[in-house]
Amino acid sequence: MDGHSTYTPKSGFAKWFEARLPIVGFIYPSFVAYPTPKNLNYWWNFGAILVFMLVAQIVTGVVLAMNYTPNANLAMDSVEHIMRDVNYGWLIRYLHANGASLFFFSVYIHMLRGLYYGSYKEPREILWILGVIIFLLMIGTAFFGYVLPWGQMSFWGATVITNLFSAIPLVGDAIHTLLIGGFAIDNPTLNRFYALHYLLPFMIAGVVVLHIWALHIPGNGNPTGVDVKSGQDTVPFHPYYTIKDFFGLSVFLLLFAWLVFYVPNYTGEPDNYIPANPLQTPAHIVPEWYLLPFYAILRAIPDKLFGVVAMFSAIAVLAFLPWLDTSRVRSATFRPIYRQFFWIFVICAIGLGYLGSQPPEGGFVIAARILTVYYFAFFLVIMPVVGLLERPKALPTSITEAVLAKNAAAAAKV
Partner 1 sequence: MGTAPHGDKPEPSRRDFLYIATGAVGVVGAALVAWPLVDQMNPDQAALALATIEVDIAAVGEGESITVKWRGKPVFIRNRTAKEISDAKAVALSDLKDPVARNDNLPANAMATDDNRSASGKENWLIMLGVCTHLGCVPLGQQGLYGGWFCPCHGSQYDTAGRIRQGPAPQNLEVPKYSFTTDTTILIG
Using CB under 8 A as the criterion, which residues of the chain lie in contact with partner 1 when the complex forms?
A: 156, 159-160, 162-164, 166, 177-179, 181-186, 188, 192, 278-285, 299, 302-304, 307, 360-361
For 168, the enclosing helix (H) or strand (E) is none
Helix/strand/coil for 236: strand
Closest CB 276 distance from partner 1, rounded Å: 11
Backbone angles phi, psi at 57, to 5 degrees: -65, -40
Closest CB 278 distance from partner 1, rounded Å: 6
Decide whether 22 or 278 has the Cβ nearer to partner 1: 278
Closest CB 301 distance from partner 1, rounded Å: 8
H helix intervals, 221-361: 237-262, 292-300, 304-316, 321-324, 336-357
Closest CB 133 distance from partner 1, rounded Å: 22
Q: Which residues contact 10 (CB under 8 A, 6 or more apart)?
A: none
Closest CB 282 distance from partner 1, rounded Å: 8
Decide whether 12 or 362 has the Cβ nearer to partner 1: 362
Decide whether 346 or 366 has the Cβ nearer to partner 1: 366
Q: How far apart are alpha carbons 182 and 217 in whole angstroms? A: 47
Backbone angles phi, psi at 236, to 5 degrees: -65, 145
Contact between 365 and 299 (Cβ < 8 Å): yes
Decide whether 182 or 206 has the Cβ nearer to partner 1: 182
The three-point CA angle 257-259-265 to 5° equals 140
Decide whether 159 or 400 has the Cβ nearer to partner 1: 159
Closest CB 270 distance from partner 1, rounded Å: 17
Question: Residue 160: what residue type?
Answer: V
The packing angle between helices 46-65 and 187-216, to 10°, is: 150
> Which DSSP symbol is given to 226?
P
Decide whether 163 or 357 has the Cβ nearer to partner 1: 163
Closest CB 159 distance from partner 1, rounded Å: 4
CB-side neighbour CA atoms (13 Å) of 348: 20
Contact between 131 and 184 (Cβ < 8 Å): no
Decide whether 46 or 155 has the Cβ nearer to partner 1: 155
